[in-house]
Structures are given as structure tokens and as C-alpha cells.
Chain A
Amino acid sequence: MLQNSNLNAFLSRIWRANPVVVLMVGLCPVLAITTTAYNSIGLGAAVSFVLICSGLTISLIRKFVPNEIKIPASMVIIAFYTTFVDYFIQAYFIELSAYLGIFIPLIMANCLLLNSSEIFYSVKNSTTHSFLDAAGFSIGFSIVILLIGSLREILGSGAFMGQQLFQEPVNVMVLPAGGFLLIGILLGILNWFRSRFSEKNDK
């Protein structure tokens, strides 16, 4: 029974309660960085690492932290992992760091992380649950940004993973405005699908 509810929570983070498409948290990097698929894979990996590690650490030290300092404590933990990721990317993926720039430290202030750290504090069945929760969140997040990133790269620069596909692309898709437009249209299509399927289920 317990296993089942854990698994359900894990799966719901991917589709039913997807952080980006449904809950609308952690939007800033989604729009700014997903100009190419490579960038979005990098960002997804960074966010997943910070999310899972901080979730595990917070759920481990939860008992020792009094209520008044739980926000600063979780922020310090998240900031520690973010700094780690920042330096790691600067050292080993220098091209990626040129593109991601300020947005790697800004993972820290992502609403997604703060929201989930609240959950890690409140959840009763400790480490496994928070690990599954964080893993679900990060998988849902990575899938969505990978989708948006590859769409923007194909439409905006006429390429996929650096391979040129066609000439004279729609340049606006690389700009922030294009990101807004693309996510809006994507959400509209998702809504349409959802309403269609729920109608079918009713019948």
C-alpha cells in the first residue's frame, strides 16, 4: 500500500502534476535557456542533481532543524549544491557555462526547489518518499525542457543538436518572445488534448 502511494506520487510528478506544464513553477530557466536541445539537457541535468541531492539531505537532517530556521537551512543546503554544480560546469563543460551563465546560480531561487523543500520537510515517510518525489519532479522537468528546447532549436535556428536541417529559420523563436509564444501554444495544445480525452472518458 505504502509502496503504491510512493509510486503514484512519483508518476504524478511526471504527467498529472508536472512542475512546468501544470504547476507552473520554475519557469525562469525554462524560457531563458531552452534555445537549443543541448542547453536544455545540461540545465535539466543540473536541476535534477540539485533537486535530488538537496531533497535527500533535507530529509536526512529534518529532525535536527527547528521550525524557525528551516527556510534558511534548506536554502543553505540548496545553495551549496548549486555552487557545486556551477563550478563543475565551469570546469568541465565550458561551452555550456558560456550559454547558461547567470542561470546556473539562479537554479537556487527556483520556485520548484523551494516548494519541494517544503514538501521534504512535511512528508512523514522520510527518505525514500522524498527521493522518489524529487526524482519525479526532475524527470518531469527535464522532459518538458527537452521538448521545448528541441522545438525552439528546430524552428528558431533550423538545426537539431547542432546539425543544420534547413536554411532561413524563424529567428524569433530563439528570442525570449519566441519562448513565450511557443510555451503558450504548447500549453494550448495540451489543454485541447486533455479536454478531448476527458470527454471520451466520460462517455
Chain B
Amino acid sequence: MINNTTNPVLIFLSAFVVNNIVLIRTIGLCSFFSMSNSLKSSLNAAVPIVCVNLAATILSWLFYNLALIPYKLEYLKLVSFVLIIVLLVQIQEFILKKVLANYFSTAGNSLSVITANCIILAVLLLNTEYKLDLVNSIIYSLGIAFGYVLAIILFAGMKERVGSAPIPKALKGYPIEFILAGLMSIAILGLRGLFGL
């Protein structure tokens, strides 16, 4: 559990490894499994998520604290957060299509995956649950986004190795990927209790 009095470094570490969003909280698995076929495609999924995450955190924090809380409308947070995420994802899609046409052709479908990515919504909801202030929530969301990047890059590397390994026929593809993710999760579990986070 973290709150505003926790040291910012610990907030970052808690989100980054100790409570890793993919491996411990098991959020955002769809893109984790579908976009990690190679290092390049995993980066293609990771970079937009980091950007959208940051922007969405700032915008939604402002909206939540300046518009919803003063009028006691906390129950509208889900609808408004979702609208903000859709807005940001669409804007980013257009920017990528226009400015980085080359990038977009390689990123392909990943953008529609981001729209449905649970991570961004989860970050916004966790921020409101812990009642973090603006700076801390930015730190927390960055920690979660980088935790996702770490997990997906490690996973892509492992998948490439496993692709050339002799494994039973029935386990090829998704089954062995799930087992790999389980082993990674056990490894990260070893950090539990670090600084009492």
C-alpha cells in the first residue's frame, strides 16, 4: 500500500517491479501476449503506452480533482476516464499516422490494442484509489508504464529463445508462453516485501 507520505522513489519501485502491473497484478495481458513476438514489436507496443499513460494521468487527475470532486461526482469517474483515454489514443493515432508514417506501418494493429488496454484505465483507477497528488501520480504511472516495458522486453527475449527450442508439440505457442510468464512471475515474487512495499 502506498500513499502520499511514501517516498517517491519507493512509489516508483513499487509500481516498477515489486507490484509489477503485468506479472503480479496481471493487468494488460492481451497486448503482453500478442505484441511480444519480437523485440521490435514489443517496443512498438510499449512506446505508445508510455506516452498515452503519462498524458492520460495528467488530464484525468486534473479532471477528477477540478471537476468531479468539487461537485461530489466521483461516481462518474469511470465514464469520464474512458472518454479521456479514447480521446488521447485517437489523437496519438493521428499524430503517428501523420508524422511517423513509417512507424505506423510497422506498429499496425497495436494502436487498437492500446485502446482496449487495461493498463491505462488501471493506472487512473489506482491513482484515485490511493488518493495520490499530481506529482506522485505521475511518478506512479511512469513506474507502471516502465514496469510494463520491462516485462514485455524480457518476455520477448525469452520467447525468441524458446522459439528455437525443442518443446513438446502440444505446448507450442500460447501454452509455453503462459508457463514462461508464470516462471517470470515467481521470479518477481522474490522481491516481495522489499522495503515493506
| Chain A residues within 8 Å of B, Cβ to Cβ | 24-28, 31-32, 71-72, 75-76, 78-80, 82-83, 86-87, 102, 105-106, 108-111, 113-115, 172, 175-181, 183-185, 187-189, 191-192, 195
Contact = CB atoms under 8 A, between A and B. Distances in A.
A144 to B, nearest CB: 14
A176 B23 contact: yes
A149 to B, nearest CB: 14
Nearest to B25: A32
Given A176-B185, A180-B179, A31 B82 contact: no
Contacts of B82: 75-76, 78-79, 108-109
Label chain A's interface by main secondary structure: helix
A28 B28 contact: yes
Contacts of B175: 184-185, 187-188, 191
B126 A176 contact: no
B125 A105 contact: yes
B79 A106 contact: no
B121 A172 contact: no
B135 interface: no
Interface in B154-188: 168-183, 185-186
A181 B86 contact: no
Contact of A191 (B170, B177, B181): B170
Contacts of A75: 82-83, 86
A105 B121 CA distance: 9
Interface in B122-150: 122, 125-126, 129
Interface stretch (B6-14, B45-53, B60-68, B112-120): B112-120
A130 B23 CA distance: 34
Contacts of A115: 116
Most chain B CB inside 10 Å of its own CB: which residue of A71, A108, A115, A177: A177
A114 B116 CA distance: 6
B169 A109 contact: no
B178 A184 contact: yes
Contacts of A179: 26, 182
Interface in B66-103: 75, 78-79, 82-83, 86-87, 90
B178 to A, nearest CB: 3
B179 A108 contact: no
B34 interface: yes
21 contacts: A27-B29, A31-B29, A72-B86, A75-B83, A83-B75, A102-B122, A108-B82, A109-B116, A109-B120, A109-B122, A110-B116, A111-B116, A114-B116, A115-B116, A175-B189, A176-B185, A177-B183, A180-B179, A180-B185, A184-B182, A191-B172
B197 interface: no
A86 B76 CA distance: 12
Nearest to A115: B116
Given A106-B122, A109-B118, A111-B30, A187 B78 contact: no
